[in-house]
Structure 1
């Protein structure tokens, strides 16, 4: 790994709807599903769902809030085992003392399903900030919040932190604001055509081509991803992510003051690691920003061979900033 150093409505209490135990190595982890109703532009409210996984080792006092990207739900962070190898970021982190809240964005996973134009970044950013605040208060023993995003989730995390600054540290993976300098990795007109559908997704062949670096991934993982993990989401969220990524002022980059770690895959056509220095220049000079290239990977950093390389770096960063 190569590193380049710094250069509404009344709040509702979370409703616990399900408890169950998950076997992880030799440790039992409690998982709790939390529902947070929030207003939309539709005629009714929508539930934002978070999956809370309890730390299994001595607590660090850090709650990681995980925000997935386009064509995924929270399982991007908890993909499980394929061919005997564990691709769960959640497993890795709870075993190191972190509490984790992995979110299903509206229209995905267990969250409510608004219309395709019923929710945007403003709705979700505010709802998620309130959900994190209430979760922190309910849990207790939380000293710091780490907001961790992937791809679209990264753009949402930045937008949210600029307006509702709840995080003490920010981790951005799979995209940056210098992505605006590059053409769409999907090819001309593909995104525009996809956005005609109220609930678009990324086609399996494009996911295979854009999300993965073939020499660095198990083909069975790619097949599992396309057959099991692939989802759609409200088009307004995708459209917002593009517009905000292309406009750092609208994103609120100048207002980001907490420490930031950015991870870019070496072969990611969305934003390759070679753009690390360029990406750093988009961020405030007086903010502690570190940009890393994760070697041998493309867009989906959690699903390539040995994803622990990137996870170790995130763990180290969070401990150093705690």
Structure 2
């Protein structure tokens, strides 16, 4: 059997483990000025049946649907609620900040997470995750979410940033990419340290009910938040505790295929904004875990990352002081929201 045919057969076999089946996108009563649940059919790879479902929370500002949709892609061990963290009167809600400014947002649960389909974990790779996002982009443009959005911009966090880069560079179907908590040089000590915390999601009472009971390849990482994701002097301990208590599962296929995103950014031909906290442990030198990406200033971050993009990406960079990996959940989250909004208003105005 040829290699391509063997891979295709393996992927088709994985379809049998999916708990959800193909169908048209469904939308629960999308209303202007509010939020609704959506479900979009997606495939594990181009040309395969779209027999997975990607859940999303679509939020629209008041009035007619805007022409710009921000498609929000969370990181590993998170789900769509990262973008609209409950409580604190919206202080930590990226969604609220953007819808208040007139943008539509769609925060998805990535493949293998939360309310989205959970295929065989080894099949939920970075490539499969990017293909699923591509299917959501296609639905957003064609009216599969209710309104049709002429412009779609990916907004990623951490592993969701890597997925967003891979999707944009592979499919070239979006109008822009904003990533946070990411760079091209992951600190070498992070993965070994995280491995000491990783356990099967089946054995974690927080995540056990959401994963297939016979698939040990779905993982949970309890105890990682405070160590890796926050700049503690500027974080609320209650937020960290709530974040830890609501952690999500991650499929091992995604975690095992991280490097595939690295060359993909050379294929991006739309504007890119990369935003990091100065003290991001996984992806910045200042985080102290060994990354060589310099997050001291906007200019130093640009110098570290520019070689991974062509001029067509029009790369811009921003560094958020007194912040770590989880920009949405630091006390100064509003600084990140303002920098992101400024870029959107210059590049993708809703006016």
Fold conserved between structures, TM > 0.5: yes
Q: Following the alignment from structure 2 to structure 1, what is the Cα–Cα distance between the partners of residues 67 and 51?
A: 32
Q: Does structure 2 retain, via aligned residues, the 8 Å contact 1:280–1:291?
A: no
Q: Following the alignment from structure 2 to structure 1, what is the Cα–Cα distance between the partners of residues 236 and 197?
A: 30
Identify if the C-alpha distance between structure 1 residues 43 and 66 changes in structure 2 by more than 3 Å, giving closer, same or farther.
closer
TM-score of the two chains, using structure 2 as the length reference: 0.76
Aligned partner of 1:221 in structure 2 is 239
Q: Does structure 2 retain, via aligned residues, the 8 Å contact 1:57–1:95?
A: no
TM-superposed CA distance for 1:122, in Å, is: 2.3
Residue in structure 2 matching 1:194, options 193, 198, 203: 198
Aligned partner of 1:52 in structure 2 is 58
Q: Does structure 1 retain, via aligned residues, the 8 Å contact 2:124–2:254?
A: yes
Q: Following the alignment from structure 1 to structure 2, what is the Cα–Cα distance between the partners of residues 76 and 319?
A: 23
Identify if the C-alpha distance between structure 1 residues 135 and 13 changes in structure 2 by more than 3 Å, giving closer, same or farther.
farther
TM-superposed CA distance for 1:19, in Å, is: 4.1
TM-superposed CA distance for 1:56, in Å, is: 2.7
The secondary structure found in structure 1 opposite 2:219 is coil
Unaligned 5+ segments in structure 1 are 1-7, 22-26
TM-superposed CA distance for 1:111, in Å, is: 0.7
Aligned partner of 1:167 in structure 2 is 174
Q: Does structure 1 retain, via aligned residues, the 8 Å contact 2:278–2:324?
A: yes
Q: Following the alignment from structure 1 to structure 2, what is the Cα–Cα distance between the partners of residues 118 and 43?
A: 14
Alignment of 1:1-322 (within 5 A): 12-16=23-27, 18-19=28-29, 29-39=34-44, 45-56=51-62, 60-82=66-88, 84=89, 86-138=91-143, 139-140=146-147, 142-179=149-186, 182-185=187-190, 188=192, 190-191=194-195, 194=198, 198-204=217-223, 206-228=224-246, 230-241=247-258, 243-245=259-261, 248-249=262-263, 252-272=264-284, 273-274=295-296, 276=301, 277-322=303-348
TM-superposed CA distance for 1:28, in Å, is: 5.0
Identify if the C-alpha distance between structure 1 residues 220 and 12 changes in structure 2 by more than 3 Å, giving closer, same or farther.
same
TM-score of the two chains, using structure 1 as the length reference: 0.83
Deviations 1:188-208 (A, max 9, x none): 36438838851112222x221
Q: Does structure 2 retain, via aligned residues, the 8 Å contact 1:178–1:282?
A: no
Structural RMSD (CA): 2.8
TM-superposed CA distance for 1:85, in Å, is: 5.2
Q: Following the alignment from structure 1 to structure 2, what is the Cα–Cα distance between the partners of residues 190 and 220?
A: 22
The secondary structure found in structure 2 opposite 1:79 is coil
The secondary structure found in structure 2 opposite 1:92 is helix
The secondary structure found in structure 1 opposite 2:322 is coil
Identify if the C-alpha distance between structure 1 residues 45 and 144 changes in structure 2 by more than 3 Å, giving closer, same or farther.
closer
Q: Following the alignment from structure 2 to structure 1, what is the Cα–Cα distance between the partners of residues 179 and 73?
A: 10
Q: Following the alignment from structure 2 to structure 1, what is the Cα–Cα distance between the partners of residues 43 and 307?
A: 36
TM-superposed CA distance for 1:239, in Å, is: 1.5
Deviations 1:249-292 (A, max 9, x none): 2xx12111111000011111112223612122322245300111
Identify if the C-alpha distance between structure 1 residues 261 and 44 changes in structure 2 by more than 3 Å, giving closer, same or farther.
closer
Identify if the C-alpha distance between structure 1 residues 60 and 260 changes in structure 2 by more than 3 Å, giving closer, same or farther.
same
Aligned length: 296
